Amino acid sequence: MAKGKKTGGRVAGTPNKDNQSIMDKLAELNCDPLKGMTIIAEKSMEAKDYAMAFQCFKELGQYVAPKRKSIEVNSHVSFEQSLHGLTDDELDATLKGYNLDSTRV
């Protein structure tokens, strides 16, 4: 494979053969899993089986709002980094009150 470039393979968005065969079989059986799960969730709510309803809605929710990936937040910013990009006036205002060693500036 050329570095950084995709060569060959499926076009983006084309389902693979396994997924397509499952989708074809479900269509042949006139089976809509999302519709079925919705019916189960609604009947569970009516029967006050909230645990089952919760599980169904939790599964269905993934198709409406996909799970977000967790990210690591590195909130440590050094004092020097926080000063980067400030104008002279902003630096003066930020550093006002600090006792600066003029021999190190």
pLDDT in tens, 58-100: 998 888 877 778 877 766 667 777 777 888 888 888 888 777 6
Task: Answer whether residue 2 shows pLDDT above 60.
Answer: no
Q: What is the pTM (predicted TM-score) of this model?
A: 0.47
- In this structure, is residue 77 part of a structural domain? no
| Host domain of residue 28 | 17-64
Rounded-to-5 percentages of helix, strand, coil across the chain: 50, 0, 50
Q: What is the mean pLDDT of the chain?
A: 81
Task: Answer whether residue 26 shows pLDDT above 70.
Answer: yes
- In this structure, is residue 25 part of a structural domain? yes
- In this structure, is residue 57 part of a structural domain? yes
Domain count, the chain: 1
**For residue 103, what pLDDT is reported?**
66
- In this structure, is residue 27 part of a structural domain? yes
User: Which residues in 17-46 are b (16+ Cβ under 10 Å) and which e?
Assistant: eeeeeeeeeeeeeeeeeeeebeebbeebee
- Name the band, by pLDDT with cuts 50, 70 and 90, for residue 40: very high
Q: Count CA atoms closer than 13 A to 71's CA, side-chain side.
A: 4
